[in-house]
Structure 1
Amino acid sequence: MTTINGAAQATTIESASTSPPQSNPNSAGALKNEFITLMVAQIENQDPLNPTDGTEYVAQLAQFSQVESSENLVQLMQANTTMLDNLQVLSTAALVDKTVTVKSDQLIASSSSRHQGYLDLTLSSNNVTIELIDAVGNVKALPLGAHPAGRVDYAFDADNLGLNGVYQMRVQLDQGQEYQPAIYQQGKVQQVTTPLVGGTSQIDVTGVGQVAFYDVAAFAQ
């Protein structure tokens, strides 16, 4: 796992072309070459009065070619996967110290922190209220009033609401509207963590915590 803590810190990225290719004696290409060698030797030493039917040779050679093509396709896909992983590392590393908007209902508050973002309402509501629930179930309410469907911006200071710690964000709407609108928060990227094998990169966002790279909804300077 590679962790990137600052914009000036670099990480070494190895691609599929970093190490020299290793020959595999059991690969389709090697087996096909061996088959051709044996076929030529058998043809050279066959009985001229009773020659071997070449149809079977051609069919077997075609099968080897199909297997070899499949192996080449698998190798190409592996190389593309490695390239995409490297591109993800480079793109996420560039996010350090940048402000992003992420989709998350977790909020981490401190006495001096300021939080802002927006909700995505599917339907209009006469009563839009953000509820902040702490670990023991205490609720802090942030009324936003009536809003039509679409984006609803919010901003608040943790000190004004007496917030300190980790909270789950929940939205209360008009009676009968049971769905939960998507919650988006803005924050600065403090750290990027990339997995060694597979998976998506994780970013640590101020006021939100760690989220997956694909949860980033917008980028800003």
Structure 2
Amino acid sequence: MDAVSGNNLVNQTGSNSGSSLSALSEDYERFLTLLTAQIQYQDPLEPMDSTQFVTQLAQLSQVEQAVATNTNLENLGTKIGSLVSVAGADMIGRNVTFESSQFGLESGATDATYTIPEGTSSLTVDILDENGTVIRQLTELSTDHTKIHTLDWDGKDAAGNSLLDGEYFMRVNALDAQLQAISGSSTYRKATVEQVLFSNGENYFTLDSGQQIQSDKVLAAS
């Protein structure tokens, strides 16, 4: 997702309000010119109905007030958005936990954890490379559904070869007592926030893993 700066949104909303006010001003001046001409050249014996013009003036005034109100609301929204953006800045440098099947390997250690559903009787975890190829399957794992499990992988493939540090993926395979697959497993990782971007009223965190997530996807921070 390519997040854009909040300044673009501010410029766009400001431009919309400015265009509306400009159009209203032109219509208003055009109406007053027409009204003046009609009054100047009206038939004294059959004067025009002034009530109609008063009504039209009132309607134009209401439209003008509505546009002004809309402008004020847009300005208020921009200020609130700026506060949200500033509030997210204190997350830079902090570690955040979020749902992800992608994780990092560094010196034989991972930043991945997972949970499994109740009723799990047998469990395996597949380690995959960036191409989706299974390079290792972890077996004889705990089936305790009440805890968060740390991915215990030594960084080696099925042949015992040590793999390079980098990004990998995991897939949790939970089976019940009848060896039927059951859903409800979740995978997580921890990464560090490097940058905060603000777009469409939402903060986005760019992480040292290269991923980008919405702020509301963060489950924990430290």
TM-score by length of 2: 0.66
Residue number among 173, 187, 192 corresponding to 1:188 in the alignment: 192
Q: Deviations over 1:81-131 (max 9, x none)?
A: 533542343233211111211122111222254424343x55431223332
Q: Does 1:134 align with 2:129?
A: yes
Residues 202 and 210 in structure 1, CA contact (< 8 A), matched pair in contact too: no
Distance change in 2, residues 1:142/1:165 (3 Å): same
2:93 aligned partner, one-letter code = D
Query: Structure 1 pair 80/101, CA: closer, same or farther in 2 (3 Å)?
Result: farther
Aligned partner of 1:7 in structure 2 is none
Distance in 2 separating the partners of 1:217 and 1:55:
61
Q: Are the equivalent residues in 1 in contact too, given 2:20–2:67 (CA < 8 A)?
A: no
| 1:145 pairs with one of 123, 139, 142 | 142
Cα RMSD after superposing both structures = 4.1
Provide closer, same or farther for how the CA distance between residues 200 and 140 of structure 1 changes in structure 2, counting only shifts above 3 A: farther
CA distance in 2, matches of 1:74, 1:147: 55
SS of the aligned residue for 1:176 comes to coil
2:149: which partner in 1?
154
Where do 5+ consecutive residues of structure 2 fail to align? 157-161
Instruction: Spell out, residue by residue over 1:128-184, the C-alpha distance to the aligned partner (whole angstroms, 9 max, x if none).
Output: 333221135133334542234xx6412246645545322122110114335363322
TM-score by length of structure 1 reads 0.67
d(CA) in 1 for partners of 2:128 and 2:150? 17
Deviation string for 1:179-210 (max 9, x for gaps)? 36332222322x11526x7585542334x431
Count of residue pairs brought into register by the alignment: 206
What are the ranges of 5 or more consecutive residues in structure 1 without an aligned counterpart? 4-12
**Residues 126 and 147 of structure 1 are in contact (CA less than 8 Å); yes or no, is this contact kept in structure 2?**
no
Answer with 82-91 or 197-206: which moved more.
197-206
Task: Map 1:32-47; keep pairs closer than 5 Å.
Answer: 32-36=28-32, 38-39=34-35, 42-43=38-39, 46-47=42-43
In the alignment, the residues of structure 2 paired with residue 133 and residue 104 of structure 1 have an alpha-carbon distance, to the nearest angstrom, of 13
CA displacement 1:62-89 (0-9 Å, x = unmatched): 5534543553455345435533542343
Q: Which residue is 1:53 aligned to?
A: 49
Structure with greater Cα Rg: 2
The alignment-based identity, stated in percent, is: 25
Where is the strand percentage greater, Structure 1 or Structure 2?
A: 1
Task: Give the SS at the match of 1:26.
Answer: helix
